[in-house]
């Protein structure tokens, strides 16, 4: 039975199933991107009030499952036919069916990107443990990239599991030829966190304020755990160059805001996914293969 299922997944119909599954996962990622920062902020605010012996206000429950999807403008629950990944956004022309409030293009972009990445990973690794781990890596980076882009915040619950998964994956694949071993993963994680901690310490010593968010420390540690210490410098270099070019573009068009700055996680995440796929698909030089 398992062998038959495995064979079916490798057929064109199976690939369509993977794409549809990726679209559904992308829809869930949109929920995480929207609600997780809100939930963590609410929980931290309630904890602070309790520590001050102040009774927190009573608010409606908020988590990844409840309440059901609703329009943030008119608060109307979204019907199932208006919640189909990509298709509903296109049919509704990017607007709420009730109040016509614009719906961010982020929703179909995340869904389409998730489906494409899942298909590429599945065609590369098949129905395997490696596919599951690397799908988790890529989808997690999509999530943290958009959360940082929209809120400037990377909750620990989104970054720390990514570090643990990278270290655990290196243990599972240690015996495979050319695979990233636990030692390289640990060195990469420690080096990534330590480098960003030092840079922020130096900047704070000179200016009196933080130059990097602590969430960035943990994200770079996660990238080090997955890519190893050999590829991590490339990740940081390419991400910095792209972020610098984007920042110059924002200055030229007049959209740069000094109080916001350039949020780094999206660039780290995109380059990290590219390097992982490039290494595994043989697109990088052999000495960078990990």
Q: Which two tokens stand for residue 117?
A: 């990445």
**97, 102, 105, 110 alpha-carbon torsion, rounded to 10°:** -60
Mean pLDDT per block of 10 residues along the chain (290 residues) reads 61 85 94 86 74 71 74 78 87 83 90 95 88 95 93 88 94 79 92 89 79 83 93 93 90 77 89 88 54
How many angstroms separate the Cα of 9 from the Cα of each of 22, 59, 170?
A: 14, 45, 26
pLDDT confidence of residue 287:
42
pLDDT confidence of residue 3:
65
With CA atoms as reference, report the closest residue to 113 among 93, 141, 88: 141
> Any idea what DSSP says for residue 202?
H
Strands (E), the chain: none
pLDDT confidence of residue 286:
44
| CA 290 to mean position of chain CA atoms | 22
In this structure, the chain runs to a length of 290
pLDDT confidence of residue 105:
92
Q: Which two tokens stand for residue 88?
A: 């509903």
């Amino acid at each position: 039975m398992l062998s038959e299922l495995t064979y079916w997944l490798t057929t064109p119909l199976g690939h369509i199933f993977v794409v549809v599954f990726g679209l559904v996962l992308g829809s869930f990622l949109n929920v995480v991107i929207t609600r997780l920062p809100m939930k963590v902020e609410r929980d931290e605010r309630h904890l602070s009030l309790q520590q001050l012996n102040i009774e927190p206000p009573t608010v409606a429950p908020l988590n990844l499952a409840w309440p059901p999807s609703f329009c943030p403008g008119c608060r109307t629950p979204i019907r199932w036919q208006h919640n189909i990944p990509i298709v509903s956004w296109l049919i509704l022309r990017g607007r709420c069916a009730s109040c016509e409030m614009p719906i961010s293009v982020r929703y179909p972009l995340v869904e389409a990107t998730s489906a494409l990445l899942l298909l590429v990973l599945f065609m590369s690794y098949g129905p395997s443990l490696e596919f599951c781990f690397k799908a988790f890596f890529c989808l997690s980076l999509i999530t943290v990239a958009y959360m940082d882009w929209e809120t400037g915040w990377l909750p620990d619950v989104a970054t720390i599991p990514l570090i643990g998964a990278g270290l655990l994956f290196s243990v599972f694949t240690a015996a495979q030829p050319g695979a990233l071993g636990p030692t390289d993963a640990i060195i990469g994680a420690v080096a990534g966190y330590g480098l960003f901690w030092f840079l922020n310490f130096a900047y704070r010593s000179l200016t009196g304020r933080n130059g990097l968010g602590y969430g960035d420390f943990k994200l770079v540690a996660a990238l080090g755990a997955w890519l190893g210490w050999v590829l991590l410098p490339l990740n940081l270099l390419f991400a910095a160059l792209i972020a610098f070019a984007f920042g110059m573009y924002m200055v030229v068009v007049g959209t740069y805001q000094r109080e916001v700055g350039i949020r780094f996680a999206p660039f780290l995440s995109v380059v990290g996914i590219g390097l992982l796929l490039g290494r595994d698909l043989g697109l990088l030089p052999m000495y960078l293969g990990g």
